[in-house]
Amino acid sequence: MADDIVIRADGLGKKYVIGHAAERERYVALRDVMARGARAAWRKTADVLRGRALIGGDTTEEFWALRDVSFEVKRGEVLGIIGRNGAGKSTLLKVLSRITEPSEGRVTIRGRVASLLEVGTGFHPELTGRENIYLNGAVLGMTRAEIRRKFDEIVAFAEVEKFLDTPVKRYSSGMYVRLAFAVAAHLEPEILVVDEVLAVGDAEFQKKCINKMDGIRRSGRTVLFVTHHLPTVLSLTSAAMVLERGRVAYRGSVSDALSKYLHQGEDQKTMIGRQIEISAALEGADFAAGAAFRVRFDVMLRGPLAEPRLGIGINDASGSRISTLFSETARVLPAVAAGNALHFQIVTEPVRFAPGILSFKLALAERGEDIETYEDTLQLVVPEYSPFVQPARSRPRGSVLVTSRIEFHEAVH
Amino acid sequence: MPELVLEAGRADRHYWRDLWAYRELFAILAWRDVAVRYKQTVIGIAWAVVRPFLTMVVFTVVFGRLARLPSEGGAPYPVMVFAGMLPWFLFSTILSEASSSLVGDANLVGKVYFPRLIIPASSAVVALVDLAINLAILLGLMLWYGFWPSWRFLLLPGLVALATLASLGPALMMTAVNVKYRDFRYIIPFIIQIGVYVSPVGFSSAIVPAHWRFWYSLNPMVGVIDGFRWCVLGGGSMLYLPGFLLSLAVVALFLWLGVAQFRRLERSFADLL
């Protein structure tokens, strides 16, 4: 194994056996096993007496949650694992964090792994905030000395100073989650495995969490994390892997993984509302070569609408607003009668949005009042491209790619 | 840099070392179980005091007064009963607490890795705290009857350790089986209920006919309880050595079976819970 590789999976597979009875029961009861055994024995005896062939017991079905999964993770890499529900993301994290063992294949891991598959694992409602910090810290693999050292930091991060000696069952759900995340955020393993835990708390706290994760990333630790929250994948990860029905469908750059995930061959997305239908696409001849490109919206509005106005907010991966378009700044839209529809296009001036996800907030207004609003239901992936003479060493940060010229004013000696 | 390989069926070569590495988690889980149990202090402690005390009174009346069974050595009957109840309550508490512990901590098992043995083992600590309370009652009782212990009393820690090991063997078996078959826990109160009469808790094992006594010690709790009485009651109490050794062998066998069973099923716990 090369020196800079910290995780290597070879042909990893995880099989679950689903019995027919197990589908109906949430757990196995001895009573049922005995009853089933007795029934099977009786059936077999009866079959033997009648001189028929033996019928097998309960039919079972194999289900591979993971199959043939091979990949490598380098030290300091932040790998986002994306995939739809049931694609095997959580199973993969469980195997990597030793909670369940693989059915085939092997994983080699170098370094201390801490896994964060849930915030607040082991929290006990009867215990106080202070007690739970120690309990949860120990569960996540911190030593007591480590927790003691970071205690004040954790408390400050969670903003629960006043309630340290209150049992957490009296906490509001916001406080509970903040405390739980604060403990987790102060883990310092060599490899961190995280599952969907960023999508907690209010917007302000989320921002704090993302900053913390960003800090972890920059400290050079290896992070694997699973998420549905696509913007975080972009803002935090350096590479991504797409899982599809238990197999690796793609492993590589973040934006390519995202377009794979969003099934975006034609990079066009459609959104249908009650009175609005809209699709968005990127337009530009030499787009891949780095030329600026336009975003085109095809819109259909259904009547009745008197004085319709359309607002489109363009957000970047981290949820920050890049720009807002208003239909009336380009043209005043006519009224639409009931049963009629109005078709039109909005095309932006050329812009170079940074590779990543653009998500749109839509607001359809009538006489100045919003009648339909949608957030993040329409998204576009801007694939990896580079307008630069020589690609930058580190991934450019920000939501717009700004190119520049360098002019020499003095002779080079 | 430590290199860890995860593979199907790969035996954990470092199991016991891992267990040692996770000792802080063990301590904190044990502390959690104790803290939660005695959080409502009054009820928690009152329960720990009232239950053994009433049991002792009932046994003394039924076996000592009504059935007129003899005590051991010159010890007052209540003291003799209580000395036997210390290990018995330890056993029954460990058995019932441990067997439900893994199911109770299912979310922990499903979300974090650690040697699973920690969970039933830490619930045994609760039983040890209960034992300390019972011991205080016993001392009070001895003071009340003016009964002075001999030098053997100093061997009590060793016997407590023996009683704990004797309880952990069956408890680990039950714990593992209970994860797989959830209705198994209904059998445990039954085992405890029968066990209290099959084991010499309310009476002295000296009343068992001599030719049966050796085989009676196949019940590991017989040796453990006899040991406790020998240690607490002092001079007048005789230890039946062959029986004690047989019980020790059975304790060791159960412990080995329990750990082996637990470790065999341990891998699949996360998938079953």
- Look at A33 and B181 and tell me if their CB atoms are within 8 Å: yes
Output A398 or B96, whichever has higher pLDDT. B96
Q: List CB contacts of B52: < 8 A, sequence separation 6 or more.
A: B82, B85, B89, B134, B137
- Ordered by where they begin, the domains of chain A are 66-112+189-261 (3.40.50.300), 268-382 (2.70.50.60)
In chain A, the residue whose alpha carbon lies closest to the alpha carbon of B105 is A122
Is the pLDDT at A24 greater than 80? The verdict is no
Instruction: Please state the domain extents for chain B.
Output: 15-272
Q: What is the pLDDT of residues A128-141, one digit of tens each?
A: 999 999 999 998 88
Query: Which pLDDT score, from 0 to 100, does residue B249 have?
Result: 95
Flag residues of chain B having pLDDT under 70: 1, 10-13, 40-42, 44, 273
CA distances from B225 to A206, B202, B234 (A): 58, 11, 14
Query: Which pLDDT score, from 0 to 100, does residue A55 have?
Result: 41
Is-above-0.80 flag for pTM?
no
Query: Which pLDDT score, from 0 to 100, does residue B125 have?
Result: 93
Q: List CB contacts of A104: < 8 A, sequence separation 6 or more.
A: A11, A12, A13, A15, B8
Q: Which residues of A328-365 are buried (b: 16+ CB within 10 A; e: fewer)?
A: eeeeebeebeeeeebeeebebeeebbbbbbbbbbbbbb
In this prediction, residue A57 has a pLDDT band, given cuts at 50, 70 and 90, of very low
Least confident span in A142-146, A228-232, A335-339, B194-198: A228-232
Query: Which pLDDT score, from 0 to 100, does residue A25 have?
Result: 52
In this prediction, residue A43 has a pLDDT band, given cuts at 50, 70 and 90, of low
Torsion B223-B229-B234-B235 (CA) sign = negative
What is the edge-to-edge ordering of all strands in the sheet holding A5-19?
A60-74, A5-19, A104-110, B3-7
Output A126 or B182, whichever has higher pLDDT. A126
What is the number of other CB atoms lying within 10 angstroms of the CB of residue A379?
18
Is the pLDDT at A26 greater than 60? The verdict is no
In chain A, the residue whose alpha carbon lies closest to the alpha carbon of B7 is A106
Query: What are the residues of chain A with a beta carbon less than 8 Å away from any beta carbon of chain B?
Result: 1, 16, 27-31, 33, 94-113, 115, 117-118, 121-122, 124, 126-127, 131, 134-135, 138-141, 143-144
Percent pLDDT > 70 in chain A is 80
CB B2 within 8 Å of CB A110? yes
Query: Which pLDDT score, from 0 to 100, does residue B87 have?
Result: 94
Q: Which residues of chain A lie closer than 8 angstroms to B29, CB-CB?
A: 135, 138
CB B226 within 8 Å of CB B200? yes
Least confident span in A86-100, A254-268, B10-24, B60-74: A254-268
Tell me A202's DSSP state: -
* Cα A246 to the center of its chain, rounded Å: 17
In chain B, the residue whose alpha carbon lies closest to the alpha carbon of A167 is B39
In chain B, the residue whose alpha carbon lies closest to the alpha carbon of A112 is B2
Output A355 or A264, whichever has higher pLDDT. A355
Nearest by CB to B28, from A31, A113, A134: name it: A134
Percent pLDDT > 90 in chain A is 15
In this prediction, residue A28 has a pLDDT band, given cuts at 50, 70 and 90, of low
Query: Which pLDDT score, from 0 to 100, does residue B11 have?
Result: 57
Query: Which pLDDT score, from 0 to 100, does residue B136 have?
Result: 92
Is the pLDDT at A22 greater than 90? The verdict is no
- Look at A30 and B183 and tell me if their CB atoms are within 8 Å: yes
- Look at B271 and A16 and tell me if their CB atoms are within 8 Å: yes
Is the pLDDT at A386 greater than 80? The verdict is no
Q: List CB contacts of B186: < 8 A, sequence separation 6 or more.
A: none
- Look at A139 and B271 and tell me if their CB atoms are within 8 Å: no
In this prediction, residue A51 has a pLDDT band, given cuts at 50, 70 and 90, of very low
Query: Which pLDDT score, from 0 to 100, does residue A288 have?
Result: 61
- Look at B4 and A110 and tell me if their CB atoms are within 8 Å: yes
Query: Which pLDDT score, from 0 to 100, does residue A208 have?
Result: 74
Is the pLDDT at A84 greater than 80? The verdict is no
Provide mean pLDDT across the span A143-171.
Answer: 90
Query: Which pLDDT score, from 0 to 100, does residue A211 have?
Result: 77
Residues A348, A295: Cα–Cα separation, whole Å: 5
Query: Which pLDDT score, from 0 to 100, does residue A46 have?
Result: 61
Residues A49, A28: Cα–Cα separation, whole Å: 31
- Look at B113 and A131 and tell me if their CB atoms are within 8 Å: no
Tell me B11's DSSP state: -
